[in-house]
Amino acid sequence: MKIFVESLDKGIWDAIENGPFIPKLENDGVSIKKPWSQWTDAKNKRAKFDCIAKNIITFALNSNEFFRVSQCRSSKEMWDTLEVTHEGTNDVKRARKHTLIQEYEMFRMLKGESIVDVQNRFTHIVNHLMSLGKVLDKEELNIRILKNLKSQLSQNQRT
């Protein structure tokens, strides 16, 4: 979704991540919303990014998901709601990350598993870890998978 939205305009993704842009006026040290009639074209375009983002998000959802976010007032609120729904809270993400790290560290080729299946399973674990913020060195990844395959091939030759 991020790739698609950024391909349209990075300002749209900014609205999703940081909330809508609302032009303000300073009045006696108090910040108030600037009347729409006083917005410049540039500020109007920037403020419109949130509307575009809400439109993109709602078009990407099925009816159940749409009803979950239909009362949200901004694209950021929609995104945050969907993120918590599908990825969980920070505690859930942390627990999932620890579980995946353990899977990664204990990763072994299963009996009867093809090399393609091993690679797919390994890539699945690694991609999920990276999506949760775990940084993995490519050299370390290559060594881990090659050692695993080498040990499995050695076992197969002995039997």
Note whether 25 and 32 are within 8 A (CB): yes
Q: Are 127 and 104 in contact (CB under 8 A)?
A: no
Alpha-carbon gap, residue 154 to 147, rounded angstroms = 10
Beta bridge partners of 27: 30
Q: Tell me, what DSSP letter sits at residue 31?
A: E
Q: Which tokens hold the place of 149?
A: 């395959």
- Pairwise CA distance, residues 106 & 158, whole Å: 22
Per-residue pLDDT of the chain (159 residues; tens, 9 = 90+): 899 999 999 999 999 999 999 988 887 888 888 888 888 999 999 999 999 999 999 999 999 999 999 999 999 999 999 988 887 777 777 888 889 999 998 898 888 888 889 889 999 999 989 888 888 889 988 888 888 776 666 666 665
